[in-house]
Amino acid sequence: MSYYTKIGFRVYISDIMTVIMLLSKLYKKYHYSLILLRELVITEFKLRYQGSVLGYFWSLLKPLFLFVILYFVFVYFLRVGEGIPHWPVAMLVGIVLWTFFSEVTNNGLNSIVARGDVIRKINFPKYVIVFASSISALINLVLNFIIIAIFMIISGVDLQWSALLTPLFIFEIFAFGIGLAFILSALQVRLRDTSYIWEIVMQALFYGSAVLYPITMVIDQNLMLAKILMLNPVAQAIQDVRHMLISEQNATLQTISDGAWWSVIPFVLVLVILIVGALYFKRRSPYFAEEV
């Protein structure tokens, strides 16, 4: 046996040991947070549909009925999206992703104030509350994608390999939403107007995110406006998912900007919001107990 393999082997073992040590340290540090996250999610899950006969089934029925209504109004009567293959399914994708974003931010916004009684009595990592509130949105999203899959089959969507990239954009929306949730929940503790302001902002964002209409309608009228609208990470992600999952005729920020440098703005925005949110939340959270 040569000298080198011996050394190499030793390094290998110690590397593994370091990784294991690091993992066990991380586990210890976040053990309490994980226990808490689990119980808070279970509690929320149980409480949400308590006393309702259909229970969690409503998470499927709600978007389904919303889709039926919007389908009749926008596709059937107003004839929105004609000429775009499988537009109704693409619209459904938009509705589902928007609902996800809206649930992550709105649940998060109220989460800290709603748990005020617990915060005043015991010290625990507060970010767990915000995460727990977003998990139910994540569960709803998964359920909603079952509906999307069904409609994709009915509509005869030709699935491409690129569809595998969808989770990436869902993660983008999640990261953006949770970053905002951190900022909003901490603001809500100090200023209760935050929820009302956010409601209005969401209303504006909703109509600016090309959820109910195809972005091509804006592109045809004013390309510049379309580009600006698409800088919003939610709008950009929705279009990307439509492009990957449903039909390549759905324009994305990449296709309308020809890959110009500013087409990375939404991703930078997500990163900035996430970092600012985490830092702001970390700075404010020691004072939640006395302010909430």
Q: How far apart are CA 57 and CA 52, in angstroms?
A: 10
Q: Which is nearer to other proteins, 30 or 213 (CB)?
A: 30
Q: How far, in Å, CA of 180 to CA of 278, rounded?
A: 9
Query: Is residue 43 involved in binding other proteins (CB under 8 A)?
Result: yes
Contacts for 256 with CB less than 8 Å, ≥ 6 apart: 219, 223, 226, 227, 230
Compute the distance between CA of residue 39 and CA of residue 112 in angstroms, rounded to an integer. 16
In the complex, least distance from residue 75 CB atom to other proteins, rounded to whole angstroms: 40
Q: Which stretch binds other proteins (CB under 8 A): 101-109, 138-146, 227-235, 282-290?
A: 282-290
The Cα-based distances of 9 to 5, 17, 19, 26, 281 in angstroms read: 6, 13, 16, 26, 44
Q: Number of residues interacting with other proteins: please give it, by CB under 8 A.
A: 27
* Closer by beta carbon to other proteins, 7 or else 118: 118
Residue from the set 72, 76, 171, 287 that interacts with other proteins by CB under 8 A: 287
Q: Which is nearer to other proteins, 58 or 124 (CB)?
A: 124
Residue 46 contacts other proteins per CB under 8 A: yes
The window from 202-210, 226-234, 243-251, 281-289 that contacts other proteins (CB under 8 A) reads 281-289
Considering only residues 179 through 198, tell me which ones interact with other proteins, judged by CB under 8 A.
Answer: 190-193
Distance between CA 265 and CA 183 in Å, rounded? Answer: 20
**Cβ count near 182 (within 10 Å):** 28
Residue type, 168: L
Least distance CB 186 / other proteins (angstroms): 14
CA distance 39 to 62: 26
Least distance in angstroms from the C-beta of 232 to other proteins: 25
Residue from 7, 23, 35, 201 touching other proteins (CB under 8 A): that is 35
Smallest gap from Cβ 277 to other proteins, in A, equals: 21
Residue 117 vs 258, nearer CB to other proteins: 117
Cβ proximity to other proteins, 124 vs 206, nearer residue? 124
Cβ at position 291, least distance to other proteins in Å = 9
State which residue, 2 or 123, has the beta carbon closest to other proteins: 123
| C-alpha separations of 15 from 25, 159, 167 in Å | 15, 42, 32
Q: Does 50 bind other proteins (CB under 8 A)?
A: yes
Q: Cβ 62 to other proteins, closest distance in Å?
A: 21
Give Dmax over CA atoms of the chain in angstroms: 80
- Give the CA dihedral 193, 196, 201, 203, nearest 10 degrees: 180
- Which residue stretches of the chain are H helix? 3-48, 58-70, 87-114, 116-119, 127-155, 166-190, 194-208, 216-221, 223-229, 233-241, 253-257, 265-284, 288-291
> Is residue 199 a contact residue for other proteins (CB under 8 A)?
no
Q: Which of 220, 250, 247 is nearest to 235 (CA)?
A: 250
> Which CB, 169 or 288, lies closer to other proteins?
288
Say which amino acid occupies 18. Answer: T
**Binding span for other proteins by CB under 8 A among 52-60, 116-124, 202-210, 260-268:** 116-124
Interacting residue ranges for other proteins, rule: CB under 8 A: 31-32, 35-36, 38-40, 42-43, 46-47, 50, 118-124, 190-193, 286-287, 289-290
